[in-house]
Amino acid sequence: MTTLLLARHGLTHLTGPVLAGWTPDVHLSDAGRAQAEALAARLTTLELDAIVSSPLERCQETAQAVAEGREAEVLTDERFGECRYGDWTGRPIAELVKDPLWPVVQAHPSAVTFPGGESLAAVQHRAVTAVREWNERLGPKAVYLVCSHGDVIKAIVADAMGLHLDQFQRITADPASLTAIRYTPLRPFVLRLNDLGGDVAGLRLREGSDGEEGGENPTGSDAAVGGGSGTT
């Protein structure tokens, strides 16, 4: 039963007001670095079998904070990279909410292909495919971390919960939050969702445990494309 930890990157100077997407050289802000360090401190006692990251700098820096002090390197998988928002990339959210496509992103995201960019359905397909391949590669006893982006994490969670992609805007992934999913032969269990401070000791199964306990299942406005700003 492989346990996947999904961490969203920490804050950047663009998180919230601007849709950064694949804009190059977007690094963690001072607040984001503090968030990454706090995430790393929370995970110190948890053995990780791999640390995988989106190629974008803000995720690499967050993942590196977790890897520091461990005998582990940060592995990069482009399939965990941000949605390619195309012509929306780099534009202010206040401007995008006036675009006719915005209500569709909110209510029917499975139908959305960003102009000059990628569809949200394609994002979910590549990310879920990557998760399943890493699960197979690392094995049923593994616990591993993937550092990614809000919409990517929400898409993976929606798949794990058996939700249609059109429901993924009901899920939140704040900066530096931790989401945990345990994949069993029967079905996935969402153990943590958008966790910003809980103890992580129970995320590795005890020897002899069958993992069938459900674990924790944490529970009206428009959802911010890119995952939302979280706390600053």
Q: Spell out the per-residue pLDDT of the chain, length 232, in tens.
A: 999 999 999 999 999 999 999 999 999 999 999 999 999 999 999 999 999 999 999 999 999 999 998 988 999 999 999 999 999 999 999 999 999 999 999 999 999 999 999 999 999 999 999 999 999 999 999 999 999 999 999 999 999 999 999 999 999 999 999 999 999 999 999 999 999 987 887 777 766 555 443 333 232 345 566 665 554 4
pLDDT given for residue 211 in this prediction: 46
pLDDT given for residue 223 in this prediction: 59
pLDDT given for residue 232 in this prediction: 41
pLDDT given for residue 168 in this prediction: 96
Indicate the length of the chain as a whole number.
232
HSE at residue 52, side-chain half, CA atoms within 13 A, is: 22
Helix (H, G, I), strand (E, B) or coil at 23: coil
- CA–CA dist 23, 206 (Å, integer): 42
C-alpha distances (whole Å) from 195 to each of 7, 58, 152, 176, 230 are 9, 19, 16, 9, 12
Exposed (0-12), middle (13-18) or buried (19+): which is 168, by Cβ within 10 Å? buried
pLDDT given for residue 148 in this prediction: 98
pLDDT given for residue 227 in this prediction: 62
* Contact assessment for residue 82 and residue 76, using Cβ atoms and an 8 Å cutoff: no
pLDDT given for residue 205 in this prediction: 72
pLDDT given for residue 219 in this prediction: 28
- CA–CA dist 231, 62 (Å, integer): 16
pTM for this prediction:
0.87
